[in-house]
Amino acid sequence: MQKITPCLWFDTQAEEAVAHYTSIFPDSRVVDVQRFGEAGPREAGMVMLIVFELAGQEFQALNGGPEFTFNEALSLSVDCASQEEVDELWARLTEGGEPGPCGWLKDRFGVSWQIVPSRLTELMSDPDAAKVARVTRAMLGMGKIDIKAAEDAYEGR
């Protein structure tokens, strides 16, 4: 068991969100489902908390009510090995959601994600400040990250 587990607060969509997320990421599963009882505060039998794993990382989804909503102050960052993985995750997570700038998006539940290819991280870590500046300028003009375009900017093409 990991020491720190992110808990995502939903109004009533925890079960739907977990089903969606676990259908997208390999090595994902529902670990435990707890339901509200007669004591409330929500309807008896409604899902209260779901413990689940995405790509082996444990999370919790809570049907806590409408008091709180997601915003970009917290996002889930996904390291991607290829453009194909970026493209697939981007397409699946923006279904009913909205694309944002620089690899960020909001899914249909309002959760913010960063879909980041490992190659972009490598390019941005180069000691050559001019190359990093070119990649940064290119990235700032992107929604979904395009690895080839980032590499072209890195090379000054």
Note the pLDDT tens digit of each residue in 137-149: 999 999 999 999 9
Tell me the fold of 70-157. Answer: 2,3-Dihydroxybiphenyl 1,2-Dioxygenase; domain 1 (3.10.180)
Q: Which helix (H) or strand (E) holds 17?
A: helix 14-24
Residues 40-63 have a mean pLDDT of 96
Judge whether 93 and 76 are in contact, CB under 8 Å. Answer: no
Q: How confident is the prediction for the chain on average, in pLDDT?
A: 97
42, 63 Cβ separation under 8 angstroms: yes
Cis peptide before 41 (omega within 30 of 0): yes
User: Which pLDDT score is estimated for 44?
Assistant: 95
The burial of 137, by beta-carbon neighbours within 10 Å (0-12 exposed, 13-18 middle, 19 or more buried), is given as exposed
Into which CATH architecture does domain 1-68 fall?
2-Layer Sandwich (3.30)
Instruction: Return the sign of the alpha-carbon dihedral for residues 84, 88, 94, 95.
Output: positive
CB–CB of 56/1 below 8 Å? no
Question: Would you list the DSSP string of 36-62?
Answer: --TT-SS-TTSEEEEEEEETTEEEEEE
Residue ranges, CATH 3.10.180.10, the chain: 70-157
pLDDT at 84 exceeding the cut of 80: yes
Which pLDDT band holds residue 40 (cuts at 50, 70, 90)?
confident
Q: Where in the chain are all domains bearing CATH 3.30.720.100? A: 1-68
CA angle 7, 12, 17 (to 5 degrees): 60
